[in-house]
Each structure stands twice: as structure tokens, then as C-alpha cells.
Structure 1
């Protein structure tokens, strides 16, 4: 693809993303656009990575973990770009295996080029039909009407995007190739890793009893989550015994309006325990939410389902913010701040980090750990 055309496509993506959020994203009172917040303060990052997890690259210590990439054959170039960055910054020193998933068979070209991009083990899996495509019980006329109404929004018309969201919400962890592993790192095509990662995030998660980790938290467009909040409240009332004590649910509540504030962990980056999604609590939650049809009658995303799953079924201290991992998914950047910025070599500017924007939900996460239990 000519360089100029790639530049035009990138600009179009950034504009579309901005329009997507500015066109009705959560409550106007809770965001001020993407400008840096004048009242922003350095977050307290209460769980720095202990020294014992650094310097393990040359040891035999490894967690039962895998890198998971959902990709299509046409995304080969973008996949190779992500792998080159990921290998350079982390995996060439740790050798964690990859599992690639697709709803159709991967081509020989895709498999050959991906396999030569790493010295780690690589496996390619086909997603079962029933885990990907719109289920037969969905009322297509109702779903079609919803797509037409949401057309101007990002992926508003897309059935395949909705299929992906549903798959990532309730099925990816059931794939046979992933059953042997306890932890995973989700990597997407054409993402950037800005810093050398000189510790093992999987060993940290395992050793410190962390179950879900993120780098970016932001508000969802309220037009894409019609009916979600009432369904979550109904689930809580129906299954109160499944909710974890000392959970993180309060970070998702707008106290003034007594409703969902739209905040969620951006799931294109996540490191998590498979045990969370395979738990009886989360499986019941997914089945309950799926039965509402919101993936197709609205456009519920997997980030929302994962966020509520983590917030409801984990203790708040089991959710971790990886300040140390520099990351970018167009158009949002997380760049480490504080001592973590200089610990590993980084190629990003901390002042450009989304953490510093008034639109970030990181303050809601930090608010979980304020002694009096109030949010900032």
C-alpha cells in the first residue's frame, strides 16, 4: 500500500474514533474532551512491581501463560508489526507461546510468516461456528433495525464486529488450544509497545494474586450500551451470592445520577487469569447478559462485559493497573509515569499519556483505594 494512502487511512481512523466518542459518549459533565486536564495529578500507583519479578528473563521461571491474537488473514501486515514490537520489547527474552484465532482457516502464507516472526511456539485455531456467528434466536428484524439506527457510530452497521464482541466476551477462553493455560495476554494487530518490559507480568500476576490487568480506562459511548445497566442490576439482584466482597463495582457508578458512568477497561490490552472467565459466576453472568440480546440489539462490547466481570467477581485488589507497560492502540497512548518511566527504556512522552486527560477513568480506579472508600 502506498505510503500516502496509509497516511490517509490513519487520519480517517483517528477522525472516526474522535467522532465516535464525541457523538454522545457518556455524560458530558464527566468529560471535557481530549485536552489535558488542568487538575490532573500523578496517580498514587499503590502496587509497583516488586524487584523479585525483574531479571527473570534468563531463568527457567515461567507461568502457565499464552499470548492470544484474534486476527484475519488480511491483517497479516498489522499482525507482523505488533509481533515485531512485542518481541523486541518483551517476548524475545521470555518465549511465551502464541495462539492465533480466526473464524476461517488461516492461509499458509499467514502461518508461515507469523511462525518465522518469533522463536516461540505458535498455534493456529479455528473458531467454532456457534461461538462466532449471530445466534439463531436473535430477532434479525430487530437487530437490523438497531444497526440501521446506529449506522453513524463506529461499527454501527457491522454484524461481524458484534460477533467479535460476543466471542471475546463469552467464548474465546473456551477454545481447545487455550485450555492448558492459566493466564493470557491479549495482543491486537498494529499496536505499539513503547517500553522495554524487564519483568514478567505473568509471574507478577500469579505471585501477587492478580486476576485482571489493564493500561487504559475510558468511558464508552452511551449510545452503544442501551439496556446494559438495567440488565447488570437485575443480575446483581438475582445472584447476590456470586458478587465478590470488597469488589470494584463502585468505580463504575455515577453517584449523582445513580447509574453507570460508562467507564471500562480498554480490552484491546489485557493480561488476565482464565480462571476469572471460566468461573461459575462469570459464566452465569455472560449467559444472563447474552440472553438479553444486547450484542445485536444494541452494540455491547467485550470491554464492557470484561469490566463488569472483573468489577463484580474479583476483589478490587485483584485488578491491577500496569503503569510500567507503555502501549498504544490508535488513537490512545499510555506512557509510564513516575519511577516506572525510567525503569525500562521508553520511547514515548509521558505528557501525551491518556492518563493525563480529563476523559480518562483512571481516577475512578484510584478512588477504589482511598481509605474512606470515596471516589475522587
Structure 2
């Protein structure tokens, strides 16, 4: 009797095992083998867009893109914007993208400057898009006014003359902005201790994830100026900027380095080819702008009145100065930073960069830019050759001064 019971139990167990095996290998189930495990383990999205990795083993530490603390190598730098209270929505969008792409990990502060006090609404609105430090500052009255050495009547006459010639031709505040961004911002008390700054603006787009620190990259590689887009300047707005620059070069050869990338902005006949770095994005070693040479150059331009009698922008001035005072090896194109400012955009083409971005490289202006191609080919020129070109140009075309 006992043997029959044992036999019955054994047959029942075998039947259950057989049924389970059939069910397991039915069409509704996946066979369990090494290849299948590797194929069907859930995938974990990596920090880089478009790049996926398998989920780590249980004994591996999982980290998110922004889990690590700020690197100990972080440099003394900040994001800086000159912005109005009315541009809150646009700046919130910009900062949100910067945080998501880069700064939630590296935790650099923001410095916002205005010619009037920031409203509580503005400050509250910005506090919701970043947990990082925000410093608010106002400009000095002298930084946002007609300089004492200029005649206001002549300035307003120039605005009237130019208002229909080009965009912002009749705008006084736009000229205040260009003058401030060209030669005054780096002395603001909130920036006085910074080594580097990254200029940002409202209503721009950052398309690509950054898994390294551009500030640290620049410092470790001896880069002093960087850009993303290099278009042509509108010649009508800078009619006498280059002649005024040549006059300064002739009078101040002691401020020039032995070699520079000046040929990027200077043609074979010594004229200005209108190439410039779009300074609404720039990451800069501020010792460039605080140098005796740059201050002397800016003061010369400022005294000429060209910021007001014409419409000299900070972009061509920064670009001419960087080309005049730096070697090519000190200037860097951040090809991997996809960026759009109304009017132009850059989207990386190389696959290893493009996979980290959410943009269409076929629409990228940069790869069609004449100035960008020139940057890739230009070589440094010696100081002696530069001075010879300048002397000949001043003979061939006597310099003109800005006129109201």
C-alpha cells in the first residue's frame, strides 16, 4: 500500500514538471539562456541623448547624469546675462536648458545684471528653474548713459540719421548695451573676482548634453576665447571701426604680441573682411578683457564716438581684439555645443557629437559660414608683417573717423 502511494506521488510530480515545461516553452514565453538574458534585460537610458547602455549588475553602483557632486577642479567662473525684467520668460527657458544640459552637475553660479532693479517677480521666477546661486546686480549710471566726452545733440542727430539705415539704427539703449558689453561689464563688482565667464541671453537654445566642464577644458588647454558661430557683420554698422582700429595699432605697437590670428579678420589688402564671433555666446578668460592692451584699445574706440555715431557692436570688437591679441591656439570653436540664437544656429555634424544633441545639423549655419571656413584655415601672423600691412593700408586708404 505504501509503495503504491509513493508511486502515485512520483507520477503526479513528473506530470506537473512536464506541464510546466510545456507552458514555459510555449509561444507566450521566452527561453532562458545567456543570449536571451543579454537581449531582454531592461535598458537604462544614459546621460547622453541617443546613447543607451544595459542596466548594470546588481553589485554595480547606478548613477544618474547629475548625481555626482561638483568636481573639485571647478574653476572660478559664472554664467552672466545682461537682461531686462520683461525678459523673464526667455531667460527662464535659457537657464532651464543650461541646467538640464550641463550645470545641474557642475553648479556654477549665475550673475544677472540690469540697468534698473530686478523685480521680486523676476527673482521668484528664476528661483524655480535652478537651485544654484543667483547674484543680482545693477549697472552704474555712467555705464548706461552717453559718455561725458560726447555731445548729446550730436548723438541724437546720429540716431535720427541711422534709424532707417539698419536695425536698431535709432536705438539709444542698444548702443548703451553694445558699449557696456564691449568694455565695461568685466569691471562690475559682481564679476571682479571671476577668472572666466560664459555669456548667456534670453530666448536661446542649447541643444546638446555636455559631459565635461568647458571652463576646465579652457583653463587646462590654454584657451582664452571660445565661440560657436562666426557670421559676417553688417558693414553699414561699422563703417569706421576698422580705420579706427588701424590707427590704434599704429600708435600702440608695444601692446601687440609677437604673433596673432589677426589675419582671420584682416584681408590681404589690409581691410576688414567683416568676420566676427557671435558674442551672444562666448566663454572667455577675463584676463583678456582686463589686460592693459584691451583696455587701451577699448578706450581708443570709446573716445572716437563710434558706439553712438555709428552702431558698433560688441561682437566685432571682441572678435578683432581676440584676433589681434591671441594666437589661433588660444581660440577654441566649441563644435559640440549646439546653440541657437534668433537668426542663426549651430548643430554638430560629427556622429559622436550629434548623438548627444536634439537638432538637425542640415540646418546648421556654421558649416556654410565663410568665416568658419576661414577660421579652420587661417595661420598666425608675425607682428612685423602686421605692422607693415597696417602702414600700407593707412597710406592707400587714409583713415576716416566716426561722424555724427
Which residue, out of 221, 225, 238, partners 1:225?
238
The 8 Å contact of residues 67 and 105 in structure 2, kept in 1 or not, is answered as no
Q: In the TM superposition, what is the alpha-carbon distance from 1:144 to its structure 2 partner?
A: 2.1
Q: Provide the residue aligned with 1:170 in structure 2.
A: 183
For structure 1, which segment, 180-189 or 330-339, has the greater mean C-alpha deviation from structure 2 after superposition?
330-339
**Does the C-alpha gap of structure 1 residues 221 and 311 become closer, same or farther in structure 2, counting only changes over 3 Å?**
same
Tell me the alpha carbon deviations over residues 83-119 of structure 1, each in whole angstroms, 9 at most, x when there is no partner.
1111111111111000100011101111121123211
The 8 Å contact of residues 212 and 310 in structure 1, kept in 2 or not, is answered as yes
SS at 1:165 equivalent? helix
Q: Provide the residue aligned with 1:160 in structure 2.
A: 173
Q: Distance in 1 between matches of 2:207 and 2:68?
A: 19
SS at 1:361 equivalent? helix
Tell me the alpha carbon deviations over residues 57-76 of structure 1, each in whole angstroms, 9 at most, x when there is no partner.
64332111101011000111
Which residue, out of 254, 259, 263, partners 1:246?
259
Which residue, out of 290, 295, 309, partners 2:321?
309
SS at 1:188 equivalent? coil
Which residue, out of 343, 351, 355, partners 2:366?
355
The 8 Å contact of residues 66 and 105 in structure 2, kept in 1 or not, is answered as no
Q: Distance in 1 between matches of 2:173 and 2:380?
A: 41
Q: Distance in 1 between matches of 2:74 and 2:66?
A: 12
Q: How does 1:271-282 map to 2 (within 5 A)?
A: 271-282=283-294
Q: Distance in 2 between matches of 1:325 and 1:367?
A: 21
Tell me, yes or no, if structure 1 residue 323 matches structure 2 residue 335: yes
The 8 Å contact of residues 56 and 200 in structure 1, kept in 2 or not, is answered as no
Tell me the alpha carbon deviations over residues 278-323 of structure 1, each in whole angstroms, 9 at most, x when there is no partner.
1111001100111100000100000111111111111221011100
SS at 2:198 equivalent? strand
The two structures, once aligned, show a CA RMSD in angstroms of: 1.9
SS at 1:168 equivalent? helix
Q: In the TM superposition, what is the alpha-carbon distance from 1:205 to its structure 2 partner?
A: 0.6
Q: Distance in 2 between matches of 1:370 and 1:227?
A: 25
Tell me the alpha carbon deviations over residues 142-199 of structure 1, each in whole angstroms, 9 at most, x when there is no partner.
2223222221311111000000000000110001011121001000001000000111
Q: Provide the residue aligned with 2:274 in structure 1.
A: 262
Q: Distance in 2 between matches of 1:57 and 1:132?
A: 41
Q: In the TM superposition, what is the alpha-carbon distance from 1:139 to its structure 2 partner?
A: 2.1
Q: Provide the residue aligned with 2:376 in structure 1.
A: 366
Q: In the TM superposition, what is the alpha-carbon distance from 1:340 to its structure 2 partner?
A: 4.5
Q: In the TM superposition, what is the alpha-carbon distance from 1:56 to its structure 2 partner?
A: 11
Q: In the TM superposition, what is the alpha-carbon distance from 1:367 to its structure 2 partner?
A: 1.7
More relative contact order, 1 or 2 (CA 8 Å, 6+ apart): 1
Tell me, yes or no, if structure 1 residue 200 matches structure 2 residue 213: yes
Number of aligned residue pairs: 315
Q: Distance in 2 between matches of 1:82 and 1:350?
A: 20
TM-score by length of 2: 0.75
Q: How does 1:47-58 map to 2 (within 5 A)?
A: 58=69
Q: Provide the residue aligned with 2:136 in structure 1.
A: 124
The 8 Å contact of residues 340 and 346 in structure 2, kept in 1 or not, is answered as yes
Q: In the TM superposition, what is the alpha-carbon distance from 1:55 to its structure 2 partner?
A: 10
SS at 1:219 equivalent? coil
TM-score by length of 1: 0.80
Q: Provide the residue aligned with 1:191 in structure 2.
A: 204
The 8 Å contact of residues 82 and 113 in structure 2, kept in 1 or not, is answered as yes
The 8 Å contact of residues 55 and 199 in structure 1, kept in 2 or not, is answered as no
**Does the C-alpha gap of structure 1 residues 104 and 370 become closer, same or farther in structure 2, counting only changes over 3 Å?**
closer
SS at 2:287 equivalent? helix
Instruction: Show structure 2 runs of 5+ residues with no match.
Output: 1-64, 382-404
Instruction: Show structure 1 runs of 5+ residues with no match.
Output: 1-53, 372-376
Q: How does 1:19-168 map to 2 (within 5 A)?
A: 58=69, 59-152=71-164, 153-168=166-181
Give every structure 1 segment of 4 or more consecutive aligned residues whose post-TM-superposition deviation is greater than 4 Å: 54-58
Q: Provide the residue aligned with 2:30 in structure 1.
A: none
